[in-house]
Amino acid sequence: MVKFEKIYNSRRFLKILIFGTAGVGKTHFSLSFKNPAIIDMESGSTFMCEKFKNALAFHTKSFSELCDAVTEVEKNIDTLKINTLIIDPITVAWASLLDSRIEAKKIKMLRNNPKADFDNLDLSFTDWASIKRKYNSFITTCLNLPVHLILVARAKDEYKVELVGGVMQPSKIGIKANCEKETSYVTDLVLRMEFENGQRYISIEKDRTGTFEIGQKISNPTYEFFEKNILLKYSKSASEPKQELEEVVSTKDAEKELIRENKLQEIYEGFKNCTTAFQLKTLTDEVEKSKNIFTSSDLEMLRQEYIRKHKEIPSNHNLIPAGV
């Protein structure tokens, strides 16, 4: 049963996407958070071991190993004493997932044809659906961890295409995070880090907490700054509700849909084949009990079938039940 309730504070951990050009300090900023563990996909943390002596690190370029590392954190979070998980960069994670799918297709093609030509190899809609499902499940698992999550992304140029002199031409309008395009939707903050006039600063591109203005610039940002301005407001909040994994939700929805289809088919066939008023009444009672699983169009179809059958069967049953 669906039950609505009042909105309440439940966020005690920040989920951040930070991006910027090379060397602006994204990794350094991320490691400034409390008790960090970094899944380092480009060895950007190796020169920071002296400054962040208590930080934990795992190095990989494999999306599969990345998932294994997150599972390890999930299982042993108390033992590891982690408060912050950093994936640096999420750009490489997304690229690795795409590459693995392409390589899997190549292997399959070679098994079927040792002389297979890869020149026209491309990802199908089925491939993309599988890739997105895998990535979304990974992101959901990360979001459900009771830690701060920082996704570090490389930057890429952003363009718009305009008609100039009768010709469509691209022009650069800025930079954006180089990662799977919907990643920014799931984080609380999207931060663009830059280095200017000898100073690092971040620009707020998204703030779900309502603490900052979009476009606001913050110089030399640290964990303590976000703790003071955001986290302390939610320090006594209730635990965050966990999100279900996409494949789990899809399985549940599929099961409900199969139940609906089977029940609809059963009752519809029952109407078609019933021959007595008693059978007709039994079927309408069944519709009444099951109406919550049916759509309005399902109920209308059953209603029309009831009316048709009601005219065929002599009875004193003259009222159409509420369900149909």
pTM for the full predicted model: 0.75
3-state helix, strand, coil in the chain (%, to 5): 45, 20, 35
Closest by CA to 323, choosing from 301, 297, 290, 295, is 290
- In 3-state terms, what secondary structure has residue 246? helix
What is the rounded radius of gyration, in angstroms, for the C-alpha atoms of the chain?
Answer: 28
CA distance 181 to 257: 30
Would strands 189-196 and 15-20 be described as parallel, antiparallel, or unpaired? Answer: parallel
Quick one: residue 109, left, alpha or beta (phi over 0 = left, psi -120 to 50 = alpha)? alpha
From the CB of residue 244, how many other CB atoms can be counted at a distance below 10 Å?
A: 13
What tokens does 7 get? 């909105």
Quick one: residue 18, left, alpha or beta (phi over 0 = left, psi -120 to 50 = alpha)? beta
CA distance 74 to 51: 26
Instruction: Let me know if domain 15-239 sits in CATH 3.40.50.300.
Output: yes
In order along its 324 residues, the chain shows pLDDT tens digits of 677 777 666 667 999 999 999 999 999 999 999 999 999 999 888 888 888 988 999 999 999 999 999 999 999 999 999 999 999 999 999 999 999 988 888 888 788 888 777 777 788 888 888 899 999 999 999 999 999 999 999 999 988 888 887 888 888 888 899 999 999 999 999 999 998 888 899 999 999 989 999 999 999 988 999 999 988 876 655 556 666 666 677 777 778 888 888 988 999 888 888 888 888 888 889 988 888 888 888 888 888 888 888 888 865 444 455 455
What tokens does 274 get? 């019933």
pLDDT of residue 317: 47
What tokens does 275 get? 């021959």
CA distance 107 to 147: 38
